[in-house]
Structure formats: structure tokens, C-alpha cells
């Protein structure tokens, strides 16, 4: 049974949504998951705003693929968001390097990893899917492809990100440690892993997903996490459902996390139980590591039932359909 400690209830019109910080919406309560389609769900508090954008496509009867691309472009463009898109914190050498992938109802998928100078990696990933015979482009090749497709080549390192990076350099001595960076720069938010993973089911019942991130702040140059890797950061099977992940990507990759969640749903587990089982595998494989990291999974099945589970408390996810816009916190975690 899906169990949540907190949820938010937003006005359907959402007129004041943009003016408010999502955390202000959190109130104690619990509800059963909605199955009304179309529906869109996404990771973390900023998923509220991303869902709202995706909903514009879904409510008109549009395709889930278009909805998820449009939705995740919102945090990608947000200058205050230092974990996704154009204002993402750089790697340890000062390069802003972004990862993203997208997957549709036909099993088509596209991905870019360690792409630099392009503000919307999700849209590049979509074009990799639609205009090339490949699934994944990385680094300079991904940037070159984006420029050829008409994307603007930009310096993405913002003065704020540069300042944070230079601060980090003073103490971290070029030795990135998972989570430490984010703990330093967001006091009070211990596990600030803020990839956006989004899953949508459109009015026709088709499922698509998108996932985009700047990855771990101050990572090694060239490091790629789970987020652009189909099966790890995102997986969709139109017969079963979809899953996405956030948190320390290395542990998700080791367990092919999102594919695992979808396969567990295929075997009959609810979305929440499938996410919980995937989290358990991560803990079982590396119990000492798992104590100090965050990984969260979010999933939806073909019926529109959704669920999430994370190693640590603090994970949130946003849900939007015709009935509601909620920000939810999984009810349990292992630590
Ligand atoms: N999963 C992302 C990565 O490892 C980071 C995150 O979600 O915080 O790159």
C-alpha cells in the first residue's frame, strides 16, 4: 500500500504556483495514488513546475513525448537551479557538462552525455533519437551535433556557479566526494540530488519519459552518471510502465535501476514496491556506501498508478493530472 507522510494540494488553476516556493506547499496528509489519465510525475520539488508545463501538452490530448520534453526544459532553463541544465554547477575543472535522455512509447530513445555549451540537453537527446541511427552521443560529438542542429553554443558557467566552484576548490582539493559538495552548498539540505526524471502517460495511454541533470557537482571531468543511460536513469516499456532515478548515479548504474523497476512491475509489483526492491538491491550490494548516499526511484505503471522509494528521507516527487497537482514524499525509507 502506498504510504506517504506529506503531500501538497495546489489549486487546479495553479495561478500562484510560479510565485511560490514548492516547499511552502508541504502539509501533512496522505492520499491514495490517482490513476486518472493523462498524468505526469517527476522528481523533486521543482517537478511541480515542470509538470505544470508538461500538463499543457497532455490536457490538449498531446503526446507524452512532447509533454516530457517540454516539462523538463523548465528546470533546464532555471537560472536558480544548479543541478539541472544551463545553470548547473560545473565539474572539478570548471566545465558545465550535462547529461540527458528521453524514451518514447515505441522503445525509441536518445541520449547525450557530458555535453557542454548547450542549455537544453533533453532536446538534443530527442534529436539524437529522431534524426540519427544512434542512441547516445557524448562530449564534443554531442555538442557538434547540437550546433549542427541549430542549438546555440553558449558559455553556461554562471557567475554564481563559478563562485561556488572556486569555493569548493579551496577545500575539496580536486577530490570529489559524493554528496559532500551539495551538503556544503545547500545548508540544511543534506541529500540535494536534483536530477529531474519525468514520466507521463497521455490520453491515448502511451508512456514516455525524460531525464536531465548536470550530475554530481564538481565531478571528475568526463564523469557520466546514470541519468543519460537508458535502463539506469530512465526506462519506459509501453506495455508495463516507466521508471526514473535520482541520486548517486554510480549505484544506480551498478544495478541498472530503472530497467529493474520496470521489470519488477512487469512481474506484478506495484510501482512503490518495485522502487523499494530496487533500493534494497543497492543497499545489499554496498551497505556501507548506501548509509551515506541518496538514491531515489520514481515509477508509474500502465494504469497510471505511481510510487517512489528512496534510501534516505528527503526525496520528493510531483504528480499532476486533471484532479490535482501534488508534491509527495515517500512514506518510508531505510535510514
Ligand atoms: N543521478 C545524478 C547523477 O548521478 C545526480 C542526481 O540525481 O543528483 O549524475
65: CATH:
3.60.20.30
Mean pLDDT of the chain, nearest integer: 86
Ligand 1 pocket by Cβ (under 6 Å): 193-195, 213, 215-216, 225-227, 246-249
| pTM of the shown model | 0.89
Give the integer Cα–Cα distance in Å for 278 and 267. 13
- Beta-carbon contacts of residue 281 (< 8 Å; ≥ 6 apart): 255, 260
Residue nearest to atom 8 of ligand 1 (CA): 193
CA of 71 to the centre of ligand 1 (A): 18
- Stated as kind and residue range, the H or E segment containing 142 is helix 139-148
Residue nearest to atom 9 of ligand 1 (CA): 215
Please state the domain count of the chain. Answer: 1
140-178 residue pLDDT tens? 999 999 999 999 999 999 999 999 999 989 987 555 444
Share of the chain above pLDDT 90, in %: 76
27-42 residue pLDDT tens? 323 344 557 999 999 9
The boundaries of the domain holding residue 150 are: 4-333
Walk across the sheet containing 317-321 and list its strands. Answer: 27-28, 4-7, 325-330, 317-321, 39-43, 196-201, 207-213, 97-103, 109-116, 136-138
Average confidence (pLDDT) over 56-74: 98
Amino acid at each position: 500500500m502506498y504510504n506517504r507522510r506529506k503531500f501538497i494540494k495546489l489549486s487546479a488553476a495553479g495561478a500562484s504556483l510560479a510565485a511560490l516556493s514548492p516547499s511552502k506547499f508541504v502539509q501533512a496528509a496522505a492520499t491514495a495514488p490517482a490513476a486518472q489519465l493523462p498524468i505526469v510525475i517527476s522528481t523533486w520539488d521543482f517537478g511541480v513546475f515542470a509538470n505544470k508545463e508538461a500538463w499543457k501538452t497532455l490536457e490538449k490530448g498531446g503526446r507524452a513525448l512532447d509533454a516530457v520534453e517540454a516539462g523538463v526544459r523548465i528546470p533546464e532553463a532555471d537560472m536558480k537551479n544548479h543541478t539541472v541544465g544551463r545553470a548547473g554547477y560545473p565539474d572539478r575543472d570548471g566545465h558545465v557538462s550535462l547529461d540527458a535522455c528521453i524514451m518514447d512509447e515505441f522503445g525509441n530513445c536518445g541520449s547525450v552525455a557530458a555535453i557542454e555549451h548547450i542549455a537544453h540537453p533533453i532536446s538534443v537527446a530527442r534529436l539524437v533519437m529522431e534524426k540519427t541511427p544512434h542512441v547516445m552521443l557524448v562530449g564534443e560529438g554531442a555538442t557538434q551535433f547540437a550546433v549542427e542542429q541549430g542549438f546555440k553554443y553558449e558559455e553556461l558557467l554562471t557567475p554564481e556557479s563559478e563562485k561556488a566552484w572556486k569555493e569548493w576548490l579551496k577545500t575539496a582539493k580536486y577530490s570529489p566526494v559524493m554528496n559532500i559538495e551539495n551538503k556544503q552548498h545547500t545548508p540544511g539540505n543534506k541529500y540535494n540530488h536534483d536530477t529531474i526524471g519525468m514520466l507521463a502517460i497521455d490520453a491515448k495511454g502511451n508512456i514516455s519519459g525524460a531525464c536531465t541533470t548536470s550530475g554530481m557537482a564538481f565531478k571528475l571531468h568526463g564523469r557520466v552518471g546514470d541519468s543519460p543511460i537508458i535502463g539506469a536513469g530512465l526506462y519506459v516499456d509501453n506495455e508495463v510502465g516507466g521508471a526514473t532515478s535520482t541520486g548517486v548515479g554510480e549505484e544506480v548504474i551498478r544495478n541498472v535501476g530503472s530497467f529493474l523497476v520496470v521489470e519488477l512491475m512487469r512481474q506484478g509489483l506495484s510501482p512503490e514496491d518495485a522502487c523499494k526492491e530496487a533500493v534494497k538491491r543497492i543497499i545489499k550490494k554496498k551497505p556501507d556506501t548506501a548509509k551515506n548516499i541518496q538514491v531515489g526511484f520514481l515509477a508509474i505503471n500502465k494504469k497510471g498508478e505511481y510510487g517512489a522509494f528512496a534510501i534516505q528521507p528527503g526525496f520528493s516527487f510531483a504528480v499532476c493530472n486533471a484532479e490535482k497537482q501534488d508534491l509527495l514524499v515517500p512514506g518510508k525509507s531505510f535510514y
